Structure 1
Amino acid sequence: MPEPGLLAGQGVLVVGAGSGIGRAVAERLASEGARVVGLDLDGARLGTLPLADRVVGDACVPGVVAEAVERAQAGTGRLDGVVCCAGRFDFYQPICSLPPSDLVDAFEEIYRVNVLSGLVVARVAADALRASRGSLVLTVSSSASWPEGGGVLYGSSKWAVRGLVAHLARELAPEVRVNGVAPGGTARTRLVGLRSLGQDGRVADGPERDERIAAQTLLGVAASPADHAGTYLYLVSRALSPLVTGTVVPSDGGRGERIEAGRTPGVGEERVG
């Protein structure tokens, strides 16, 4: 008989589970015995995942999130963990290239998806997570520490998510641990652009991007979504991280250290840009 996983019998909700890092996290948590419910705008992408249940809808809508929380509790009677991976990218769009009205629309779209979704999920799931002394994990980015890896719209939204981690950890303590994972550049993530800027059909991926990502890390690798999944598992699991809260864990192959070295004369081999 196989050994029970780290999350055996636990109910977990993964928001943005249909693709990229969210998909890899859902698969990894399920492999550890969790009863995973996936929430995503694209129901077709949820269909092939090893999910206990799935909800198709917008994570910024409280009623949709409430349904997902309810389904995540259905099998075990509790919600032990929530992971938020929903997001939009700006493809390095300079704000000075935009008419002011387009800037307003782009801001509202990217902050709604990248920031408001985390707030809505935290609010709707708070009581259930308190009852289980569970864990909330938000997806930040290396762009939340350095002005790299995106434009000002994307980067500033991820700085805001970094703030959510700190403030929610304080507000939901002592019952709920709140942490973040800050991935660096990741291959095959289907980073989707902003509909308001006509970027919705554009996806960041391809061999050239893989090579660029690898060159910008100390480890010389282009991370895959699965490479980050263990960090999320660590933060979701109360057995592995019982005292960790209010923390953002970098998962960037040393990209941040290379950026800092590149800004210090005589330390970095080349400037990372």
Structure 2
Amino acid sequence: MAQRRMFSKKIVETDIFIDMPPTAKIFYFYLNMSADDDGFVGNPKIIKLISGATDDDFKILIAKQFIIPFDSGVIVIKDWKIHNYIAKDRYNETQYLKEKSELSLEKNGSYTKCIQDVIHYGDPGKDRVGKERLGEDRVGKSSIYRESGIPDDNQTAPPDTEKTTSVDNDILFKNYMDLFINFAKKNINKRSLALQTFIKLSEMEKSQIITGAKNYINFYKSDRPDDESGQYSINAFEFLDNAVFKEYQVPIKQNKANSPFCKYDPNADINDPGGWGPKKPDKTLNTDINDRGGW
């Protein structure tokens, strides 16, 4: 697969693109960078999380026809071939052949979905058309709504085929990262690494991370009140990667006597290089002259 991706000013400098929210534009660029040589992306929800985009940004790209969604969850960049030209010796065809078969190319090089049923009122001889007629017939309202994936008011909305578990995991990971980011801003840069680890967790482990995160953060705040920014706390990635969340499934009360963060004692035992040990006994001066240590 070719490693370089290009963007055409014919697309990204249009008013309709510029008017989108910044997060939607960033999401679009991320999708383009992740697409295969035919412009298909098999994991758009993962890319959405990595880019920091929202479900609304996803809907905007579909509504404005910058991407075309499929029932399988795959999407394709509509203007992919306007953006990119890939030499034949570097080109690798997409693995999403079924989805590719549902597309045709317009004269300007952009993708469009093949619609097999286009109704022409008053002309029963043209009820069914092939994709060779698509460029002429796609301008109808019904065609636009079908391509964008947005149901017309006069049409029955297509059933939602997304798996509930996928949606739940998106929300779960977002809530997890929100906890750590609100606690310590350093975790903003750990989102991608944390996501890669989160994906590998079992469903049981995923169900434990919110409880673990809350208990850990509460414990750290009470144990380290001097570190209000969470600078020295474990980050969101390591918390998952080292399975620390399993150790915090129940709230932990700080035992001050055993706290590793007790105050430094300058009078601690000299053999304790950390200065954390018990106090040494007071010196008694003018003791036996034979006791050179003065004890």
TM-score range, shorter chain: under 0.3
Question: Greater strand share, 1 or 2?
Answer: 1
Higher RCO (CA 8 Å, separation ≥ 6 residues): 1
Please give the TM-score of this superposition, normalised by the length of structure 2: 0.20
Structure exhibiting the larger radius of gyration computed from Cα positions: 2
